[in-house]
Amino acid sequence: MIPQYVPGHSLLADRTVVVTAAAGAGIGAAVARKCLEEDARAVVLGDVHKRRLDEAVETLRAEFGASRVDAVLCDVTNEEDVTTLLDAAEPFGGVDVLVNNAGLGGTASILEMTDEQWSRVLDITLTGTMRCTRAVGRRLVAAGRAGVIVNNASVVGWRAQAGQAHYAAAKAGVMALTRCSAIDLAPHGIRVNAVSPSLAMHPFLAKVTTDEALAELTAREAFGRAAEPWEVANVIVFLASAYSSYLTGEVVSVSSQHP
């Protein structure tokens, strides 16, 4: 049974939020919507998919107002794209919250995995998160401003799963990056935390995962269902808000999964 959708409580009032990989119907898109519902001053979406990004912006602007939503094509493996994405937040007063949601998965046995497969997943999922964290951290420190960074990790960073060596290594790296960058940035009043979802269902996941695999993953969940993307987004909003003011360097599991 899916719980009732939780309405906004102005947790992000007067904050400008940047979300990577925010187009489509996954966690990033849910985060963008939740931040607007929580009265964020503005949300800037980044993604590599122009059509989906345009559709997301059109929908959110129609609902929340054109003055609160902007978007930039952004490939997190490209430093210039990252700079352009953060520049788009400047007309709204500059970034206050960064949600690093961009990541790339895939399934391949370690026996068959190519260097290209490994490097692609690591470059987007781990190095992309580092690249965005570094860029935002530098801006906030230069401006003398506090801020919040929330990274999207995964339970496979903790738990073994066949065919996921590259993705698991990348997500475990995101967890370690979260802890270490939190220590580096704490003296500047910048908090860094992460969520670690198990299974959040959305159309793209259904397209790239077999019914058998989804059934197996769902069976591991105590609630007998996958999380809704907005349920993960709720925890990300909590970490971005003042309610988590004493949390940094933490990885919060968003999971009902059992061994």
Backbone angles phi, psi at 149, to 5 degrees: -125, 130
Q: How far is CA 228 from CA 30, 72, 254, in A?
A: 9, 26, 11
Q: Yes or no: say if 60 and 32 are a contact pair by the CB < 8 Å rule.
A: yes
pTM: 0.93
Residue of 83, 82, 25 whose CA lies nearest to 56: 25
Q: What are the tens digits of pLDDT across the range 161-208?
A: 999 999 999 999 999 999 999 999 999 999 999 999 998 865 555 444
Give the CATH class of 26-39+94-254.
alpha beta
The pLDDT tens digits for 89-125 are 999 999 999 999 999 999 999 999 999 999 999 999 9
Could you count the other beta carbons within 10 Å of the beta carbon of residue 145? 15
21-56 tens-digit pLDDT: 999 999 999 999 999 999 999 999 999 999 999 999
CA distances 39 to 9, 17, 29, 32, 35, Å, are: 8, 11, 16, 11, 7
Q: Which of 72-76, 133-137, 140-144, 209-213 has the lowest mean pLDDT?
A: 209-213
Angle made by CA atoms 73, 78, 82, in degrees to the nearest 5? 60
Write the DSSP symbol of residue 4: P
Average pLDDT of the chain, as a whole number: 94
Q: Which residues are catalytic?
A: 167
